[in-house]
Amino acid sequence: MGDSFGKLFSITTWGESHGGGVGVVIDGCPAGLALSEEDIQLELDRRKPGQSRITTQRKEQDQAQILSGVFEGQTIGTAISILVFNQDHRSKDYDEMQDLYRPSHADFTFDAKYGRRNWKGGGRSSARETIGRVAAGAIAKKLLSDIFGIETVAFVTQVHDISAEIDHTSVTREQVDANIVRCPHPETAEKMIERIEAVRKDGDSVGGIVSAVVRGCPAGLGEPVFDKLTADLAKGLMSLPATRGVEFGMGFAAVSMKGSEHNDLFEARQGKIRTKTNRSGGIQGGISNGEEILLRVAFKPTATILKPQQTTSNKGEPAELKGRGRHDPCVLPRAVPIVEAMINLVLVDHLLRNLTKKNPESFKKLVT
């Protein structure tokens, strides 16, 4: 069950970092959606390793192969299976991790849960697992944009203690992808790149924040209790490797505000009920209100660093461990497409849920 996500549009990811390959099975995609391997490849290329000097230098093409569920360029309503082969894994870099626990990794906790673990590259705890999410997210993105006119744009707003104020109302994917750190503020982006290069040379790592905006989302998505839109988005995003927090709208800053300062007042605008401000981040009572969805995801520093660290063996013997292999000194640049994928997967699932509600005509009016 822990490998699956979603209810009506559901995905199951599989594979390990140093195994034969990784992939995903998508169930619940409607028939008739135009889909090609190029659509999926576009997103995988944004996530793949070795794409710049500030990411891991593992060289993987991450070439997607659609094995089922698509015929003559269109989905046919049955399960879609996508495969990506692993080609450049170097398991020898992990030999000493067979008996030693890497600090802040899942080595010890996997042993505690299963009594065994795949120590080559971290197995399922490796961020390489996210390939399946991004591939499935590419399909969700096509459904959202082609049918519902919904767009999700994620971007880096902070690396370590360097942050940028970004106008979320106008930021574009072209601006995001214009530099290797994926921060749409060029001057700040250069400072972020310099910081990442500096910590890489020092054998260390840094974290940061990825922000995201969803445009065109109709009001009414989300369930009123356990499956709130905020709850499902938070679950999806917090399931990503290295995540440490998710904020919506004003987020934690709301605790220093009064209700009169935080409340979003309603008004009639262009024939629709809208809010004058968007401090809620487009979601109220766990249900979307038709405004832009605004959120931020905090990522911790990459756990693997090249500095010597104290640890223990699986027998409890003290040891010193120095990371080897090829790792991201900062996960943020490659996390951007993964954040977008998880948001899109949640939105598609909730859109399909709304189509099954008692009053489909009301939903139809919202998206037309």
At 366 the pLDDT is 46
Q: Tell me which of 90 and 105 has the higher pLDDT.
A: 105
Categorize the per-residue pLDDT at 89 as very low, low, confident or very high, splitting at 50, 70 and 90.
Answer: low
Q: What is the pLDDT of residues 228-261, one digit of tens each?
A: 999 999 999 999 999 999 999 999 999 999 999 9
Compute the distance between CA of residue 41 and CA of residue 65 in angstroms, rounded to an integer. Answer: 9
- Tell me the helix, strand and coil percentages in the chain, rounded to 5: 35, 25, 45
Give the CA radius of gyration of the chain.
21
CA 137, distance to chain mean position in Å, is 9
Nearest Cα to Cα of residue 247 among 279, 217, 220: 279
Compute the distance between CA of residue 116 and CA of residue 326 in angstroms, rounded to an integer. Answer: 24
Q: Mapping DSSP to helix (H, G, I), strand (E, B) and coil, where does residue 294 land?
A: strand
Compute the distance between CA of residue 368 and CA of residue 351 in angstroms, rounded to an integer. Answer: 14
Rounded to an integer, the average pLDDT of 210-221 is 97
**Domains of the chain: which residue ranges?**
4-366
Pairing of strands 293-299, 308-312: unpaired
CATH entry, 4-366, from 3.60.150.10, 3.20.20.70, 3.30.420.40, 3.30.390.30: 3.60.150.10
Compute the distance between CA of residue 6 and CA of residue 302 in angstroms, rounded to an integer. Answer: 28
Q: Tell me which of 89 and 5 has the higher pLDDT.
A: 5
Structure pTM?
A: 0.93
Compute the distance between CA of residue 133 and CA of residue 239 in angstroms, rounded to an integer. Answer: 11
At 187 the pLDDT is 97
Q: What is the pLDDT of residues 122-158, one digit of tens each?
A: 778 888 899 999 999 999 999 999 999 999 999 999 9
Categorize the per-residue pLDDT at 99 as very low, low, confident or very high, splitting at 50, 70 and 90.
Answer: confident
At 92 the pLDDT is 61
